[in-house]
């Protein structure tokens, strides 16, 4: 025999209203990731000698294209989206490096600028592709 438990609306609303550890951390983590990536790009562009320049710049070079690609892959499940966006970020970085080496114009600053420009272009294309004020599903089809 199975017992079915039904929560009342009063207990359900009090559980949602109670703040606790581990709740709503995604905006905080997104802000921290943006800050670390921005610091990494800034340190790479200024040529600073700070010891965290390398890890922060590497984080930026992986996170910027990955975020742009993840925005384009809205239809995938979360694990597939993360996997595809990280793989796409690696591909974007490798293509930028290959292109810069092929034309003999390799530089760290140029690579950061090129990856930033490609990421912003991809994000802009994703934002322009989405219809404004409409849902993605058509009614009546």
Lookup: tokens for 52: 């965290």
Q: From CA 65, how far away is CA 80, in angstroms rounded?
A: 16
Decide if 87 is inside a domain.
yes
- pLDDT bucket at 1, cuts 50 / 70 / 90: low
The predicted model gives 106-121 an average pLDDT of 93
Decide if 125 is inside a domain.
yes
Decide if 13 is inside a domain.
no
Q: From CA 79, how far away is CA 46, in angstroms rounded?
A: 35
Q: Which domain holds residue 70?
A: 31-129
Give pTM, 2 decimals: 0.72
Decide if 137 is inside a domain.
no
Q: Is the pLDDT of residue 117 over 70?
A: yes
Decide if 136 is inside a domain.
no
Decide if 41 is inside a domain.
yes
Domains: count for the chain: 1
């Amino acid at each position: 025999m199975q017992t079915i438990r039904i929560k009342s609306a009063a207990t359900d609303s009090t559980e949602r209203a109670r703040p606790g550890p581990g709740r709503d951390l995604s905006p905080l983590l997104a802000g921290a990731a943006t800050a670390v990536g921005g610091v990494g790009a800034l340190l790479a562009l200024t040529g600073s000698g700070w010891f965290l320049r390398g890890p922060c710049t590497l984080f930026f070079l992986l996170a910027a294209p990955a975020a742009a690609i993840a925005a384009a892959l809205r239809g995938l499940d979360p694990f597939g989206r993360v996997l595809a966006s990280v793989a796409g970020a690696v591909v974007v970085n490798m293509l930028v490096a290959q292109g810069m080496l092929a034309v003999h114009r390799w530089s760290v600053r140029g690579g950061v600028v090129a990856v930033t420009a490609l990421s912003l272009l991809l994000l802009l294309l994703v934002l322009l592709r989405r219809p404004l004020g409409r849902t993605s599903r058509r009614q009546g089809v």
